[in-house]
Amino acid sequence: MTIKIYVPLDSGSVALGADDVAKAIAAEAIKRDEDIKIIRNGSFGMYWLEPMIEVETPRGRLAYGPVAPEDVNSLFDAGFLKGGEHKRYLGHTQDIPFLKGQTRLTFQRCGIIDPVSLEDYRANDGLKGLENALKMTDAEIVKAVTDSGLRGRGGAGFPTGIKWNTVREAKGEQKYIVCNADEGDSGTFADRMIMEGEPFVLIEGMIIAGLATGATKGYVYTRSEYPTAIDVMNEAMEVARAAGVLGDNILGSGKTFDMEVRMGAGAYVCGEETSLLNSMEGKRGVVRAKPPLPALEGFMARPTVVNNVISLCSVPVILEKGAEYYRDFGMGRSRGTIPIQIAGNVKHGGLYETAFGLTLGEIVDQIGGGTASGRPVRAVQVGGPLGAYFPRSLFDTPFDYEEFAKRDGLIGHAGIVVFDDSVDLMKQARFAMEFCAIESCGKCTPCRIGAVRGVETVDKIAKGEEPEAQIELLHDLCDTMKFGSLCALGGFTPYPVLSALTHFPEDFKPHGLDIAAE
Amino acid sequence: MSLSVTSEEVTTRVGAICDGLAGLEGPLLPILHEVQEEFGFIPEGALQTIAKKLNLSRAEVHGVASFYHDFRTEKPGRHVIKICRAEACQAMGADELGNHAKRKLKVDWSETTANHNVTLEPVFCLGLCACAPAAMVDGKVVGRVSKDRLDHILNEVES
């Protein structure tokens, strides 16, 4: 009987050698005349164990990791095809504590299924949400999403149902669903992982969004840095089209929805929704003033839903199991689950989907296991390059939109970057300004000029030129950027800068900055 | 592959790309990507052809092509190495890694070595933040890039 072996196609896993491992297993199997089938699946998101391979046995799926090509020979010797003991043996995949502790609603099939097998997807309850949605009116679908409490997972946290309702009520011959997959925040990779590991859930979520709002065309705008995600999405869309899931007769309902993937070109600011729309239209990725809201005048000046990947991927489970089921997870006004991405200098880096409400300390120290370097954790940046640096004294902050806002931070796209005690927060503040200067679209002055002045000001502190006056100036500059910028790039760059200044003032003393500047 | 392309060739090949993609809603970015895929960069002469095909001014096309970091106006080296400079990679020593690469290759960011073999580019996040520091070598992702690993990569592309 053919034995199924799973080796991730996930970019993170491939970056650690998964392709070579897959090749080595295939070659060794031929040599030993073993009947195997290698399935390239998504990652479960435990990157310290990648490349993590699994074997399907009568005892269930058993995992081995991290596996190097050099381990393959000994894995065969140890009888891994039957789940044999080996130094890389991890036991049942689902029993690995990091995975067992999670509540996987959005990522429920990621890693488990063959990403481009619609049969696998359906066999694991895929498309049930869409089937239910097809029996509902547009208003009922919107109500379910509104009642679930789902908020935009891209960072802004705007209620998804309310956005959908605006588009539903907008008049227009052609409406669009645009999926913002321009995941540029350092420390985040949830969008990439789900597009590579479970593309059908995004397709399903987008179709449901189309049914709810009357949009018949969808676009996924993603990054040129994500070639694998683009390939997997395109392949899955073809499969969905051939199976009548996409097209002009969705699951035989007579309803229409189709979609395309568009690739960005390395501009961080295109993650901002209006800049993204300009980019899709073939313009410079310059931010648009709001109003008009994209919901009313979005892509090609037509009513457009712009939602993050994870928001859209959370919709199928809401439609499958009901708004209440989803809403019952979480705390306060942050309902449901959030895929937290733990990255940087961390022992157990990866994706951890859980209900809102864990404290930052639990996430970093317990789930993440502290730093990879073994040194003490000094700071964590939450929410990407525009997120605040939190010191250990704020580790009791629960993971929740409002709780983070109360402490002058943001959860953003839920990425957490861990730094050990070798971090220089003045250097990080300088980088925040430098990054803003590199990526500014140039439309508004506080961002375009402010960021450049910000870098210069930090450099003056480093050189000891009136450091106290410069620190005051930096505060002032941050105020201007925060209140005067058109979008979150200039408006939120003050978060990392001010949090560094507030929580780590001891770093803002004259000293050399070891920088890799351009 | 020939070393230089004539302007007629650019016009013909870019024209064909435009014809193939002009039906898309917002075709300019897909066209620019394909032109870069075809030539390795956006040749000067391509702008005029694209502008004509899409009924835009040459200035508008130039404005778009120059806005995005991805689009190059010069032919890159035979190998392109992108090293992530973003925070998660910084936390794992990306600055040092970047400096090491610059010293070894004797180039600054976004420059090509004198022998035209390697172009070194900064990138801000490859989504490999849990296996930092990360790099992309000729389109292939590499995680946990130590200095030794980078030296190994540099040796490989130089051989």
User: B33: which chain A residues are within 8 Å (Cβ-Cβ)?
Assistant: 224, 263, 265
Residues linked to residue B112 through DSSP beta bridges, in sequence order: B119
B22 touches chain A (CB under 8 A): no
B25 touches chain A (CB under 8 A): yes
Distance set, CA B115 to CA B1, B8, B137 (Å): 18, 28, 18
Judged against a pLDDT cut of 90, whether residue B3 lies above it is answered with no
CATH number, domain containing residue A68 = 3.40.30.10
As for how many domains chain A has, the answer is 4
Residue A512 lies in a domain: no
Sign of CA dihedral A265, A267, A272, A274: negative
Confidence class for position B109, pLDDT limits 50, 70, 90 = very high
Residue A149 lies in a domain: yes
Of B68, B91, B143, the CB nearest to A16: B143
Task: Give the up-direction half-sphere exposure of residue A244: CA atoms within 13 A in the CB hemisphere.
Answer: 8
- Residue A239 dihedral angles phi and psi, to the nearest 5°: -60, -45
pLDDT per position as a tens digit, A369-420: 999 999 999 999 999 999 999 999 999 999 999 999 999 999 999 999 999 9
For chains A and B, count residue pairs whose Cβ atoms are closer than 8 Å: 171
pLDDT exceeding 90 applies to what percent of chain B? 94
Judged against a pLDDT cut of 70, whether residue A276 lies above it is answered with yes
Residue A263 lies in a domain: yes
Residue A112 lies in a domain: no
CB contact under 8 A, B125 and A349: no
Structural domain harbouring A290: 118-327
Residues linked to residue A258 through DSSP beta bridges, in sequence order: A217
Please give the average per-residue pLDDT across A28-45, as a whole number. Answer: 98
pLDDT exceeding 90 applies to what percent of chain A? 98
pLDDT per position as a tens digit, B26-56: 999 999 999 999 999 999 999 999 999 999 9
pLDDT per position as a tens digit, A39-57: 999 999 999 999 999 999 9
Q: Are residues A296 and A370 in the same domain?
A: no
Q: Are residues A234 and A135 in the same domain?
A: yes
Q: Are residues A314 and A340 in the same domain?
A: no
Contact status, residue A42 vs residue A198, Cβ threshold 8 Å: yes
Residue to substitute from B21, B29, B35, interface A, most A β-carbons within 10 A: B29
Q: What pLDDT was estimated at residue B159?
A: 77
Provide the whole-model pTM. Answer: 0.97
Q: Are residues A189 and A316 in the same domain?
A: yes
Confidence class for position B2, pLDDT limits 50, 70, 90 = very low
Residue to substitute from B87, B107, B131, B138, interface A, most A β-carbons within 10 A: B87
> Is B84 annotated as a binding-site member?
yes
The residue whose two tokens read 């096309």 is: B61
Does this complex have an ipTM over 0.90? yes
Q: What pLDDT was estimated at residue A515?
A: 63
Residues linked to residue A335 through DSSP beta bridges, in sequence order: A330
The CATH number of B79-158, from 3.30.70.20, 3.40.30.10, 3.10.310.30, 1.10.3720.10, is 3.40.30.10
Please give the average per-residue pLDDT across B106-121, as a whole number. Answer: 96
The residue count for chain A: 518
Q: Which residues contact B13 (CB under 8 A, 6 or more apart)?
A: B5, B38, B39
CATH number, domain containing residue A221 = 3.40.50.11540
Chain B, window 79-118: residues with a beta carbon less than 8 angstroms from a chain A beta carbon: 84-92, 94-96, 98-99, 102, 108-110
Q: What pLDDT was estimated at residue B1?
A: 45
Q: Which residues contact B103 (CB under 8 A, 6 or more apart)?
A: none
Q: Are residues A430 and A416 in the same domain?
A: no
pLDDT per position as a tens digit, A76-126: 999 999 999 999 999 999 999 999 999 999 999 999 999 999 999 999 999
Type of residue found at A359: T
Contact status, residue A343 vs residue A415, Cβ threshold 8 Å: yes
Q: Are residues A233 and A270 in the same domain?
A: yes
Confidence class for position A518, pLDDT limits 50, 70, 90 = very low
Relative to beta strand B79-84, strand B135-137 is antiparallel
Picking from A269, A292, A327, the residue at the C-terminal end of a domain is: A327
Picking from A70, A100, A130, the residue at the C-terminal end of a domain is: A100
CATH number, domain containing residue A478 = 1.20.1440.230
pLDDT per position as a tens digit, A63-80: 999 999 999 999 999 999
B32 touches chain A (CB under 8 A): yes
Residue A107 lies in a domain: no
The residue whose two tokens read 């590579």 is: A196
Q: Are residues A192 and A302 in the same domain?
A: yes
CATH number, domain containing residue A388 = 3.10.20.600
Sign of CA dihedral A25, A26, A29, A34: positive
Q: What pLDDT was estimated at residue A437?
A: 97
Confidence class for position A261, pLDDT limits 50, 70, 90 = very high
Q: Are residues A266 and A292 in the same domain?
A: yes
Q: What pLDDT was estimated at residue A513?
A: 82
Q: Which residues contact A161 (CB under 8 A, 6 or more apart)?
A: A142, A143, A144, A145, A146, A147, A148, A150
> What would you report as the CA-atom Rg of chain B, rounded to the nearest whole angstrom?
18
Picking from A306, A327, A348, the residue at the C-terminal end of a domain is: A327
DSSP A67-100: PPGGGHHHHHHTTGGGT---TTEEEEGGGSHHHH
Domain positions in chain B: 7-67, 79-158
> Is B89 annotated as a binding-site member?
yes
Q: Are residues A226 and A271 in the same domain?
A: yes
Sign of CA dihedral A375, A380, A384, A387: negative
